[in-house]
Amino acid sequence: MKKRLCVGIVGLGCVGSAVVKILEDNKEIIRDRAGVEIVIKKAIVRDVEKYQGYPFEISNDLESLVEDTEIDIVIELMGGVEVPYELAKKTLVKQKAFVTANKAMLAYHRYELEQIAQNTPIGFEASVCGGIPVIKALKDGLSANHILSLKGILNGTSNYILTQMFNHNRSFKDALKDAQDLGYAEMNPEFDIKGIDAAHKLLILASLAYGIDARLEEILIEGIEKIEQDDIDFAKEFGYNIKLLGVAKKHKDCIELRVHPSMIKNERMLSKVDGVMNAISIVGDKVGETLYYGAGAGGEATASAVISDIIEIAREKSSLMLGFECPQSLPLKPQESIESAYYVRLLVNDEKGVLSQISAILAQNDISLNNVLQKEISQANRAKILLSTHLTNEKTILNALKELENLSSVLDTPKMIRLITE
């Protein structure tokens, strides 16, 4: 069994530098979960001068990476289509594993690579929806199912724009400018807003679900650039949201693939996915609907997916069976020190000064109030006081509740529900 696994990285941009950082930051858990140490041996960049002070070799010689017999896995994070495709072929021919975040390249060349790879692993979790492990869900989690359909919000930029238009009445033009100012959209945002990026991802997902070798040029693709306020008004009036969806659907004798803005009923989970977030709803013939939600882009989220592929490949090589994490030395937090905000329900005599008595007790216990609602009860001169607090802890709230119960104006044991504030 190997003690370490050497990787070579092509590209040290946003995702590449995050891969380097996470492999260092989370070195221990990654080693434990991989069964071997993961070591970066070399990185390939265009301009070597710009990258100084890394604890591994920096080079601009792509060929040297493939030729290096010590390197077990090549990680392609350079972008483009034909150059990374050539790199992938050379890597796989040398029986080195290949990991990529490159959806455009896979949209065109996935089956050629699959053919060349034979039994050499190709990892591409990062190519679809960044940090969401949807490729693994399709390959592993749902493996007992025929996939009946999948529908995904696959592009964060267009989802951000649509959310701004829908929730904040921004025009398409203004929302696009917001996205560019925030760095969510490229200066040339065509791929995002015209649905091309989503279509790349849809093709990859459809290949996993259905084995269909469709081309970008063959499928129905529409962008979000023609959506106007009227459309949003109509959607709101009749209970819809508007999202750019990639849709794949199995029919008896064919597979349907399409990318376009869609009106989705408010009851559906997908309609609630806002901002730059992505989500994919998958319907299996046995499991029914499952949905996967998370950050679809961003350096660290995408790098998290890249590294999950590296770990999976390493495990296969190290024959590690992964069960429960080893018990760590961390103990269970004592119940009384658990922090939360709280909602409290009190049944009281509806008499002068009762709310002031209650708030005095809370204040003495260093608990600050957030919301209060007083409800009269028609009969019997009673009232309910419903309140929520800011953050405190179990010991403090339980103590305060006991003191409240002892008040003569409080008629019943106070009831409490915890609030989730983060």
* Binding site residue list for NADP(+): 10-17
Residues within the annotated binding site for L-homoserine?
Answer: 186
> Under rule CB under 8 A, which residues in 190-209 are in contact with a copy of itself?
207-209
If the CB atoms of residues 94 and 258 are measured against a copy of itself, the closer one turns out to be 258
**One of 7, 20, 264, 354 touching a copy of itself (CB under 8 A):** 264
Contacts of 252 (CB under 8 A, 6+ apart): none
Could you tell me the smallest distance in angstroms from the CB atom of residue 301 to a copy of itself?
A: 5
For residue 101, the number of C-alpha atoms closer than 13 Å in the C-beta half-sphere is 34
What tokens appear for 42 in the block? 């070399």
CA 330 to chain centre: 27
64 or 108: CB nearest a copy of itself: 108
Q: How far apart are CA 384 and CA 324, in angstroms?
A: 47
Cα–Cα dist 180/186, whole Å: 6
The residue type of 180 is Q
- Rule CB under 8 A: choose which of 122, 161, 193, 410 binds a copy of itself: 122
**Residue span binding a copy of itself (CB under 8 A) among the ranges 119-127, 152-160, 173-181, 184-192:** 119-127
Does residue 395 interact with a copy of itself by CB under 8 A? no
Extract the runs of DSSP E, i.e. beta strands, from 177-315: 220-221, 240-250, 255-265, 277-284, 288-295
Q: Which of 352, 403, 343 is nearest to 381 (CA)?
A: 352
Q: Which of 57, 178, 289, 403 binds a copy of itself (CB under 8 A)?
A: 289
CB atoms near residue 420 (< 10 Å): 6
The residues, any chain, with a CB within 8 Å of residue 30's CB and separated by 6 or more, are 22, 23, 38, 307, 311
- Structural element, H or E, at residue 362: helix 354-364
Calculate the CA 421 to chain-centre distance. 20
- Counting residues that bind a copy of itself (by CB under 8 A) gives 133
Site for a copy of itself in 214-243 (CB under 8 A): 214, 218-220, 226-228, 230-231, 233-235, 237-238, 240, 242
**Pattern of binders to a copy of itself over 350-389, x per CB under 8 A?**
---------------------x-x-x--------x-x-x-
CB 7 within 8 A of CB 71: yes
Cα gap 137→376, rounded to integer Å:
52
The binder of a copy of itself chosen from 49, 211, 366, 380 (CB under 8 A):
211
**Interaction between residue 111 and a copy of itself (CB under 8 A):** yes
391 binds a copy of itself (CB under 8 A): no
Please tell me whether residue 254 binds a copy of itself under the rule CB under 8 A.
yes
Select the residue interacting with a copy of itself from 186, 285, 351, 405 (CB under 8 A).
285
Query: Can you tell me which of 332, 352, 379, 406 binds a copy of itself, judged by CB under 8 A?
Result: 332
Answer for the pair 414, 344: CB distance below 8 angstroms, yes or no: yes
For 253, residues 6+ apart whose C-beta sits below 8 A from its C-beta are: none
Look-up: residue for tokens 């904040």?
Answer: 168
| Nearer CB in complex with a copy of itself: 62/103 | 103
Q: Can residue 68 be called a binding residue for a copy of itself (CB under 8 A)?
A: no
Query: Among 44-52, 81-89, 188-196, 305-313, which window interacts with a copy of itself (CB under 8 A)?
Result: 305-313
- Asked if residue 335 binds a copy of itself (CB under 8 A), the reply is yes
Residue 85 or 292: which CB sits closer to a copy of itself? Answer: 292
**Distance from chain centroid for Cα 353:** 50
Among 37, 57, 178, 300, binds a copy of itself (CB under 8 A): 300
The four Cα atoms 313, 317, 319, 323 give a dihedral, to 10 degrees, of -20
In the block, tokens 């260092």 appear at 24
CB-nearer residue toward a copy of itself: 235 or 401: 235
Beta carbon nearer to a copy of itself, 62 or 91: 91
d(CA 210, CA 233): 37
Catalytic residues: 201
Choose one: 43-51, 75-83, 177-185, 411-419; the region binding a copy of itself (CB under 8 A).
Answer: 411-419
30 binds a copy of itself, rule: CB under 8 A:
yes
The window from 3-11, 257-265, 351-359, 402-410 that contacts a copy of itself (CB under 8 A) reads 257-265
Of the ranges 64-72, 74-82, 254-262, 359-367, which one interacts with a copy of itself (CB under 8 A)? Answer: 254-262
